[in-house]
Amino acid sequence: MYTEKEHLPTWPLAIALALATPHSLAATAEVTADQVVSALEGTFGAHAAERRNHIKGSCAKGEFIGTPVARDYTRSALFSGKSVPVVARFSLAGGNPKVPDTTKIARGMALEFRLPGGKLQHMTMLNTPMFGASTPQTFFDDIVSKKPDPATGKPDPEKIKAFKASHPDSLPQAEYLDKHNPPVSWANSSYYGIHTFKFVNRANKTTLVRWRFVPQDGDKRLSDDELKSSPPNFLEQRLIDRVKQGPVRWDMILAIGIPGDPEDNPTVLWPSNRKEVKIGTLTITSATPQTGAECEKINFDPLVMADGIEPTNDPVLLFRSPAYAISFGKRLGGK
**Among all residues, which ones are annotated catalytic?**
54
From the list 288, 299, 282, 276, the residue with the least C-alpha distance to 247 is 282
Long-range contacts of 289-295 (CB under 8 A, 24+ apart): 289/58, 289/59, 289/236, 290/57, 290/58, 290/59, 290/89, 293/59, 294/59, 294/61, 294/87, 295/57, 295/59, 295/60, 295/87, 295/88, 295/89, 295/110, 295/112
170 DSSP 8-state letter = G
CA 106 to chain centre: 10
| CA separation for the pair 289, 310 (Å, rounded) | 32
H or E segment and range at residue 92: strand 84-92
Neighbouring CB atoms inside 10 A of 46's CB total 14
CB–CB of 283/247 below 8 Å? Answer: yes
CA dist 187 to 115, 190, 247, 280, Å? Answer: 24, 8, 10, 17
149 DSSP 8-state letter = P
Q: Transcribe 230-297 into DSSP letters.
A: S-TT-HHHHHHHHHHHS-EEEEEEEEEP-TTS-SS-TTSPPPTTS-EEEEEEEEEEEEEESTTSTTTT
